[in-house]
Structure 1
Amino acid sequence: MDYVAIIGAGVSGLTCGVVFAERGYRTAIFAKETGQQTTSGAAGALWFPYDAEPAERVIPWALETYKALVDLSREARAGVSMIELRQFSRAGEIEIPDWAIPLGAQAVIPSPSTSPRAGSAQRSLESFKSGFSLRVPLMDTTIYLDYLANRFVAAGGSIAANVQFKQLEGVDRKFDLVINCAGIGARELVQDLDLEPHRGQVAVVPSIEDFSCAIVCDDVPLMYAIPRRNDCVFGGTNDISSDLA
């Protein structure tokens, strides 16, 4: 097996590309969108096993990814850093996941500041009932996507943009392996009608002074605030949608 085709140029597609190209495979990525036009370009993007099943398979995969990202965080140009994540609940006691305990997760008791200098974000902590914190990798996709793309091309890979396959059979038969990283595009690509789109909305604002940890609350309404190197990402939504655009 020599030739590998990857459909999709988000973080998943580019990462697969790097893995294969750096091991000597002749690897090509085909994608409708690239760079900041991909879904990955709008991601926060924290490492955290979220909304994925079955847990007995997902968690071991996620922990392998964690180790790889920790290694990347030591490489300044990668756009990966370690950040404190504070996960809260408004509804009641939040349980620390078993997988998070070996990573150093600790319970956090929300305690809003009474200082007149405290910002509204600090004072709003009173709406949370419980929480936990741990350090996790943060991928600044304004940097990380370009890092992966450059690393892939440097290893001999190629990226073809503005390419959309209607079905896998449209891929040139010279490729011995085709890897599907099309995201929601796989619904049509491989006729996987179990895939459903979720609408997500974020707001990207200039960086905020003294805001150094990520805050996430999964209770309805979902909210998160994630500081990055040059800006902050606020969200969000996770609504089932019929819009495949």
Structure 2
Amino acid sequence: MVPIPDWAKNLGARPISVIPSEVEGSLTIPAFPSIFSNGYALNVPLIDTTIYLDYLANRFHNASGTIESAHINKVEEIPRDFDVIVNCAGIGARELARDSELEPHRGQVVIVPKLDLAQAIVCDDAPLMYAIPRAHDCVFGGTNSISENRAPSAADTTAIVSECSRILGIEAPPVIVVKVGLRPFRKSGVRLERERLSDGRTLIHNYGHGGAGFTLSWACAEEVWAIVSRTG
């Protein structure tokens, strides 16, 4: 049986078995890929970023926030109008905060037409594979390599579509678009702490979440707010 990691156990993960009686308490999952003999399942929120990011932006605007785009080389360049600065620069914090522990973990995914999937499917065994259903399409993944190359790789696209199709037992679907991003992995873990700038302003670092940015976002935001509330 695939061992269930502690973090998944804490979220109520239960084993899956092709033969339900094989493991006490095992689940029977609809359309569980026949290529797998076992695994584990858990119920967690599934974010459709094509909807969720607009939702967050609208909440921010409705709270009188504004979004501006600019390039800065150091946080001191931010206008003095702002007493508190939160550094959520992702991989950019490597230069902005001079943090050598950050490294870019390149991830490529392929967006394909919507599939009839009852749940997201992830396989951590090499090669990494996941299929995540969304409202209007499906995400096939993926890759995880230390690289700063944001250009899509045709070879990666072929491998991703081939592996996901093999696992799901379907014909290779057409590719809508290919996306590449850099996960801001930090060797010693997330950096979430307060720093006082030389001009007296408060700087709160909140970066280094790797591939778990959405997962950790609300808890980290609450901690940032707690720091602001304590220190001003």
Give the structure 1 partner of residue 158 of structure 2. Answer: none
Matched, 1:125 2:39: no
Name the CA distance, whole Å, in 1 between partners of 2:120 and 2:2.
17
| Structure 1 residue identity aligned to 2:57 | A
Contiguous gaps of at least 5 residues in structure 1: 1-92, 112-121
> Does the aligned pair in 1 maintain the 2:106–2:150 contact within 8 Å?
no
> Does the aligned pair in 1 maintain the 2:73–2:96 contact within 8 Å?
yes
**Where in structure 2 are the equivalents of 1:6-155 lying within 5 Å?**
93-110=1-18, 125-126=34-35, 128-155=36-63
Change in 2 beyond 3 A, CA 1:103/1:170: same
Indicate the structure whose relative CO is greater, using CA pairs within 8 Å and at least 6 residues apart. 1
Moved over 4 A (4+): none
Instruction: Quote how far apart the aligned CAs of 1:146 are.
Output: 0.5
Change in 2 beyond 3 A, CA 1:243/1:180: same
Q: Which moved more, 1:149-158 or 1:174-183?
A: 174-183
Give the structure 1 partner of residue 101 of structure 2. Answer: 194
Matched, 1:167 2:64: no
Match of 2:118 among 200, 212, 221: 212
| Structure 2 residue identity aligned to 1:236 | G
TM-score (ref. length: structure 2): 0.55
Q: Deviations over 1:174-215 (max 9, x none)?
A: 322111111111111111121111111111111113x12111
> Does the aligned pair in 2 maintain the 1:197–1:244 contact within 8 Å?
no
| Structure 2 residue identity aligned to 1:225 | A
TM-score (ref. length: structure 1): 0.53
Change in 2 beyond 3 A, CA 1:123/1:136: closer
Name the CA distance, whole Å, in 1 between partners of 2:11 and 2:80.
44
SS of 1:186's equivalent?
A: helix
Name the CA distance, whole Å, in 1 between partners of 2:110 and 2:73.
32
> Does the aligned pair in 2 maintain the 1:94–1:131 contact within 8 Å?
yes
Give me the identity figure in percent. 57
> Does the aligned pair in 1 maintain the 2:129–2:142 contact within 8 Å?
yes
Q: Deviations over 1:107-148 (max 9, x none)?
A: 01247xxxxxxxxxx69632x353100111111110100000
Instruction: Quote how far apart the aligned CAs of 1:151 are.
Output: 0.7
Name the CA distance, whole Å, in 2 between partners of 1:230 and 1:173.
43
Give the structure 2 partner of residue 20 of structure 1. Answer: none
How many residue pairs were aligned?
A: 140
* The structure with more radius of gyration: 2
| Structure 1 residue identity aligned to 2:105 | H
SS of 1:95's equivalent?
A: coil
Instruction: Quote how far apart the aligned CAs of 1:99 are.
Output: 3.7
SS of 1:158's equivalent?
A: coil
Change in 2 beyond 3 A, CA 1:193/1:102: closer
SS of 2:46's equivalent?
A: strand
